């Protein structure tokens, strides 16, 4: 996903690439972000805690199962049940998202995090 963005702070255009993405770990929380290649302004991508990461895992698993139903590897009849489960997961994620995002942005802006915690 080499999405092009324009930095809000300096107007620089750059592509979001693994080289300018990072993670900050704070206790249970992982904040994923990318930063401007010119002025290093940090931008929030996603903040997760253990609960959210479990929900994401479950969601991927269910989505894989749905794909396998569509490919006739699993019985088609189960799609509805899976879809229902998926909908419930998405609702739970949506409930968690605003607080996590807020927390993530706080962590990103907190003391500028000069100790870079970039991904290996």
Residues 6-35 that bind Zn ion (CB under 5 A): 7, 9-10, 12
Near Zn ion by CB under 5 A: residue from 38, 54, 88, 118: 38
Supply 86's token pair: 């998926």
| 81 in Cβ contact with 75 (< 8 Å) | no
**Residue 52 neighbours by CB distance under 10 Å:** 19
Check if the beta carbon of residue 59 is closer than 8 Å to that of residue 93. Answer: yes
Residues 63-82, interacting with Zn ion (CB under 5 A)? none
With contacts defined by CB under 5 A, how many residues of the chain interact with Zn ion?
8
What own/partner pairs with CB < 8 Å and gap ≥ 24 does 64-73 have? none
**Contact (Cβ atoms closer than 8 angstroms) between residue 3 and residue 20:** no
Least gap, CB of 38 to Zn ion (angstroms): 5
Q: Residue 7 or 79: which CB sits closer to Zn ion?
A: 7
Nearest distance from C-beta of residue 82 to Zn ion, angstroms = 43
Residues lying near Zn ion in the complex (CB under 5 A) are found at: 7, 9-10, 12, 36, 38-39, 41
């Amino acid at each position: 996903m080499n999405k092009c963005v324009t930095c809000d702070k300096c107007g620089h255009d750059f592509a979001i690439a693994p080289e300018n993405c990072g993670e900050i770990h704070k206790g249970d929380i992982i904040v994923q972000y990318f930063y401007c290649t010119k002025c290093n302004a940090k931008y929030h991508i996603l903040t997760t805690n253990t609960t959210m990461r479990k929900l994401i895992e479950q969601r991927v698993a269910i989505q894989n199962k749905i794909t396998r139903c569509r490919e006739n590897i699993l019985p088609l009849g189960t799609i509805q049940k899976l879809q229902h489960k998926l909908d419930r997961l998405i609702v739970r994620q949506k409930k968690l998202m605003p607080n996590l995002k807020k927390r993530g942005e706080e962590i990103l802006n907190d003391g500028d995090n000069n100790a870079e915690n970039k991904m290996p």
